[in-house]
Amino acid sequence: MTQKIKVADLPNFDMAEMLKTEEDVANYLTLVLEENDMSEFTHALGIVARARGMSAVAEKSGLTREALYKALRPSSQPRFDTIHKVCNALGVRLVAQSGPAQV
């Protein structure tokens, strides 16, 4: 007989806890970028920033902690220079690759 598990009894999943190495971060962000959903990418950057410590990332990026939280909300549309600053602070480099043109 199968034992039923209540949803409330399941542990909470936090992606930030899974990002232990730089390779984990790079793979995660690459997978999210491949989905072509910029709001999800912004959210993913927020998860990585939380994994690395929001205060430390804010300091390295030159943003206030509050501005960093605001910029990386899933509903936000941060400017590219903000994304660039956050990526630099996280030690992540965005790379352009050729691919099929989308019309």
What is the domain-level CATH number for residue 38?
A: 1.10.260
Examine residue 14 and state whether it is found in any structural domain, yes or no: no
Residue 63 domain-assigned (yes or no): yes
6 in a structural domain: no
Q: Is 67 within the bounds of a domain?
A: yes
CA distances from 43 to 18, 70, 83, 84 (A): 15, 11, 11, 15
Domain assignment of residue 75, yes or no? yes
The answer to whether residue 15 sits within a structural domain is no
Digitized pLDDT (tens) for each residue of the chain, 103 residues in all: 688 888 888 888 899 999 999 999 999 999 999 998 999 999 999 999 999 999 999 999 999 999 999 999 878 999 999 999 999 999 999 888 888 887 6
Query: CA-to-CA distance for 58 and 47, rounded, in angstroms?
Result: 13
The single-letter DSSP state of residue 12 is: P
**Residue in this structure with the two tokens 């999800």, named with its chain if needed:** 40
Instruction: Please indicate, yes or no, if residue 55 is contained in any of the structural domains.
Output: yes
Domain that holds residue 28: 20-90
pTM listed for this prediction: 0.82
Token readout for 84 is 């660039």
Q: For residue 77, is it within any domain? A: yes
The total number of structural domains in the chain stands at 1
